[in-house]
Amino acid sequence: MSGPTGRRKQKLKWSKLYTFSCLRPTTDESAPTESSWAAGIFRVVFCNESQLHKSKPHKYPNNYVSTTKYNLITFLPRALFEQFRRVANLYFLLAAVLSVTPLAAFNPVSVIAPLVFVVGLSMLKEAIEDWHRFLQDRNVNSRRVKVHVGNGLFVQKSWKSLGGRHCQTVGSALYTKSGNSKMWYLRLHDDTDNLFDPEDPMSSGFLQFVRALVLYGYLIPISLYVSIELVKVLQAMLINKDLAIKCSIEGISYGGEVTEVDLAASRRMNIDVERYRYSLDGSDSTGRSIEMFDLSTADGSTEKDVLGFHQGSEDTKTGNSRISSSQKETTVKGFNFRDNRLMDKMWIYRSNVSDMIMFRVMALCHTGIPVEENRGNKLTYEAESPEEVAFLIAAQEFGFKFCQRTQSTMVLQELDPSGLEVKREYKLLNLLEFNSSRKRMSVIISNEDGEIFLLCKGADELADNGRTYQQATVMHLSMYAEDGLRTMVFAYKKIGLPEYENWSSVFKKAKATIGPEREELLENASEMIEKELLLLGAVAVEDKLQKGVPECIDKLAQAGLKIWLLTGDKKETAVNIGFACSLLRHDMKQLHLCLRKESPSNQQIKDVKEEILCQLQSYNQLITEEDREGDPFALVVDGKALEVSLSYDVRNHFLSVAMRCDVVICCRVSPKQKALITRTVKEHSGKTVLAIGDGANDVGMIQEADIGVGISGMEGMQAVMASDFSLPQFRFLERLLIVHGHWCYKRISKMILYFVYKNIAFGLTLFYYNIFTGFSGQDLYDDWYMVMFNVLLTSLPVISLGVLEQDVSSDVCLKFPALYQEGQRTFASAGSESSVGFLMESWLP
């Protein structure tokens, strides 16, 4: 075990080396880890008693948002500090200091001027970026919000004047990134030429050394940083342009706004595109757009109280209709279901009440709200999950339009079996929220007649309540699950008033409790009422992958990326999606990491850890044993196991197994865990991590990763705002990485080599010349020529190489994704190339 860890440490050090910075601030890296993940930070907030916040213990900073890094006073010292944290700049500072002493090899101006130029340019860039951030902040801070001042009165105030949380989001860790390069160590002649004092060879030798240090400073390219930064900006422009063109060709709107965000952010780190190895996938990054709506309901049941699947020919027809429907043109987004028996009000002729109740459940059992009508009389909805939206839209299509929600009522516009549209108001009595152990949510409503119903939707287990139709439903469910559809079962029951009142008191009590046992009480209460449900039917939702996702993932896998899928879905679904997007293949050995026991309480934590460790160890062994056969491994981790695996002492074992697998799928991952996984993988492997996702729940992960990519999809702009790159669709990742990543890597590495080459070629002439001057340290060129050499005279060829070089065309890149791996074996190849180059050039001039 010590072997691999030792190597890993070394790797980490290497990665530190090529980021070029010494004096890395330690606070940025480690501080937030524990404090923010633990639930340690809390605040006491008094509602409607704002005067309490004016005195000390509860006085919090105001709501002013500041993402800027500097202010007017701190700019100079902080920016200078940032600049001189770079080893090379420090070195040139030293040279500049030495140049004003009598030891100087050159005219002091010729040493100081380029340094000032280079540092000044970098600082100017920082200043401009910070200025943009400031403008953005000002926009946010001057946003008008309504503030409640008491008694229902609202006052317009600007955001910044609010008391509340103060966030300083910019960590300077983000800014310590810089291009990779090599350090050149100077070999200095230990010349004992009695230059300074023949009596004292020691000190004169030292002075010689110092002189030579200054003289051969030209071996280190001073303007490398500036050039790299410039090249990065230009590359980002090119990438954006290219992606934008690609998008416009394929008719996808690529908003100007997005491009802008994209540009600003990518300036920081597009260089890193080429170096990452692990890619974390946000669950939704695979492009969840639920377009297919799949529904099977009971039909013609004889028993009134049991509803379920009708067996026989009709179900296969339903299946057929599903398949054929996907090919049909659909006008309603999010709904792709065609079945003549149900559509266009046809269901009313089927003399089946269960259909109606089923649609009603669909329209009522959710947490969504309708949003403004935007076309015709169709509504669109917003809800916690896209599934709910899909259900609502489906219900609307079937004639159950959910129109309005108030605190206690829900209004449906229903299609009566008589064919008329009726507006009905339902009282919402209780909402039993979804939780992961019950795996269902319910609403308790009473209709206009005062009848009380419990409407429930939930995971497959609910189907156990079905009686006659249970078998059929289970069969259908497994069929759907195999197809990679997300299944959902609907059920309901009628509750008598006394029963409800009994239960209601229990539930209220549970709701009123405060403390850790509240959850449990609520759960128990919910369990109490969610009994003896009647199965209505099952629904399958296709989490439709965006176009080109499987191909893209396939290419990325070929390119040697390790892909992690982090999803909130349950395990079966995740695995199915994994297959659907060709992340998982059938020749892969799946390793499942899961817990047998449910919900570990504190006493059991040790056992649980043991269990996980045990599993991990056996997997590790398995991988070691079967490594020779070359079968790839896939690790599937479920939510509970993940929680344990990420705990501090198990983490390393978990990651060492996970790193050896080609694909890792984590299910039931919370947004926080996504970020935590990203962070731990990044720290553990020392590799570059790219995270891609489209939802707000991916933001943490995107920010945590070295490169964050946001998909500007249906789920809002949060992910895009937080990202370094934004893509309109997942499949553009392929082009971004395999083409632009490859190019950028090649460009930057070639450019650095070229840069180093030209400086060495130049510096060596100085060195060779000194052979002819008795190593006295005489310089060969005019001072001003030397000043201009790096900064002006030879900068353009290098920069143009860095921006425009294409070693192979984009088609070739896409055709052979393995080319990308070249970039991953970076150091070895670049190192040998440069050393060969160094040897060549050392005798050429």
Partner 1 sequence: MAAVFVADANLNLASVKISVFSWVFGFNGLCVVYQFTQQNLPACKPILSPAWVVEVVYRYDVECVPVLYRSNKLAYIKDNSIPKNCSKSLKIPKHMKAPIYIYYQLDNYYQNHRRYVKSRSDQQLLHGLQHHDISSCAPEDFSHGLPVVPCGLVAWSLFNDTYSFFRGIDEMKVDRKNIAWKSDRDHKFGKQVYPFNFQNGTLSGGAHLDPNIPLSDQEDLIVWMRTSALPTFRKLYGRIEEDLDADDIIKVKLLNNYNTYSFSGSKKLVLSTSSWLGGHNNFLGMAYISIGTSFIFVAFVFMLIHVKNPR
Positions marked catalytic: 284
Q: With respect to partner 1, which residue has the nearer C-beta, 61 or 774? A: 774
Contact 749, 826 (CB under 8 A): yes
What's the min distance (Å) between Cβ of 117 and partner 1?
26
Write the interaction track for partner 1 spanning residues 764-783; mark x where CB under 8 A is met and - where it is not: -----x--xxx-xxx-x---
The structure tokens listed for 130 are 């910070």
Angle at 332 between CA 327 and CA 333, to 5 degrees: 85
Q: With respect to partner 1, which residue has the nearer C-beta, 505 or 773? A: 773
The structure tokens listed for 549 are 């996702």
What's the min distance (Å) between Cβ of 272 and partner 1?
31
Task: Write out the binding residues for partner 1, residues 542-571 only, by CB under 8 A.
Answer: none
Name the one residue in this structure whose structure tokens are 């649980």: 608
Q: With respect to partner 1, which residue has the nearer C-beta, 6 or 774? A: 774
What's the min distance (Å) between Cβ of 249 and partner 1?
35
- Provide DSSP, 663-713: EEEE-S--HHHHHHHHHHHHHHH--EEEEEE-SGGGHHHHHHSSEEEEE-S
Write the interaction track for partner 1 spanning residues 395-414; mark x where CB under 8 A is met and - where it is not: --------------------
CA separation for the pair 283, 567 (Å, rounded):
4
Q: Is 661 left (phi over 0), alpha (psi -120 to 50) or beta?
A: beta
What's the min distance (Å) between Cβ of 558 and partner 1?
22
Backbone phi, psi, residue 591, to 5°: -110, 125
Q: With respect to partner 1, which residue has the nearer C-beta, 64 or 209? A: 209
> Which amino acid belongs to residue 715?
E
What's the min distance (Å) between Cβ of 816 and partner 1?
15
Q: With respect to partner 1, which residue has the nearer C-beta, 293 or 767? A: 767
What's the min distance (Å) between Cβ of 777 and partner 1?
5
3-state secondary structure of 813: helix
Tell me the site size for partner 1, rule CB under 8 A.
9
Q: With respect to partner 1, which residue has the nearer C-beta, 27 or 194? A: 194
523: CB partners within 8 A, 6+ apart: 435, 437, 438
What's the min distance (Å) between Cβ of 668 and partner 1?
50
Spell out the alpha helix ranges (H) of 421-538: 470-482, 497-512, 517-529
DSSP, res 22 = S
Contact 322, 335 (CB under 8 A): no
- Provide DSSP, 537-580: EEEEEEEEPPTTHHHHHHHHHHTT-EEEEE-SS-HHHHHHHHHH
Q: With respect to partner 1, which residue has the nearer C-beta, 466 or 777? A: 777
- Provide DSSP, 717-772: SHHHHH-SEEESSTTHHHIIIIIIIHHHHHHHHHHHHHHHHHHHHHHHHHHHHHHT
- Please tell me whether residue 198 binds partner 1 under the rule CB under 8 A: no
- Please tell me whether residue 217 binds partner 1 under the rule CB under 8 A: no
Contact 377, 332 (CB under 8 A): no
- b/e 205-218 (16+ beta carbons within 10 angstroms → b): bebbebbbbbbbbb
Q: With respect to partner 1, which residue has the nearer C-beta, 190 or 532? A: 190
Write the interaction track for partner 1 spanning residues 139-178; mark x where CB under 8 A is met and - where it is not: ----------------------------------------
What's the min distance (Å) between Cβ of 776 and partner 1?
4
What's the min distance (Å) between Cβ of 806 and partner 1?
20
Q: With respect to partner 1, which residue has the nearer C-beta, 312 or 774? A: 774
What's the min distance (Å) between Cβ of 757 and partner 1?
18
What's the min distance (Å) between Cβ of 93 and partner 1?
24
CA separation for the pair 451, 272 (Å, rounded):
62
Q: With respect to partner 1, which residue has the nearer C-beta, 209 or 769? A: 769
The structure tokens listed for 43 are 């605040």
Report the candidate in 375, 293, 370 with the shortest Cα–Cα distance to residue 326: 293
Q: With respect to partner 1, which residue has the nearer C-beta, 206 or 772? A: 772
Contact 186, 139 (CB under 8 A): no
What's the min distance (Å) between Cβ of 774 and partner 1?
5
Report the candidate in 574, 572, 562, 556 with the shortest Cα–Cα distance to residue 657: 562
Name the one residue in this structure whose structure tokens are 């309708």: 370
3-state secondary structure of 305: coil
Strand ranges for 93-207 from DSSP E: 144-150, 153-158
Q: Among positive and negative, which fits the CA dihedral 617, 619, 620, 624? A: positive
Burial (CB count within 10 angstroms: exposed 0-12, middle 13-18, buried 19+), residue 135:
exposed
- Please tell me whether residue 195 binds partner 1 under the rule CB under 8 A: yes
Backbone phi, psi, residue 171, to 5°: -95, 140
CA atoms within 13 A on the CB side of 242: 19
CA atoms within 13 A on the CB side of 785: 7
What's the min distance (Å) between Cβ of 555 and partner 1?
24
Q: With respect to partner 1, which residue has the nearer C-beta, 434 or 769? A: 769
Q: Among positive and negative, which fits the CA dihedral 100, 105, 110, 112? A: negative
Q: With respect to partner 1, which residue has the nearer C-beta, 368 or 777? A: 777
> Which amino acid belongs to residue 39?
A
Q: CA 596 → CA 133, 330, 359, 609, 648, distances in Å?
A: 49, 44, 36, 12, 21
Which positions touch partner 1 (CB under 8 A)?
195, 769, 772-774, 776-778, 780
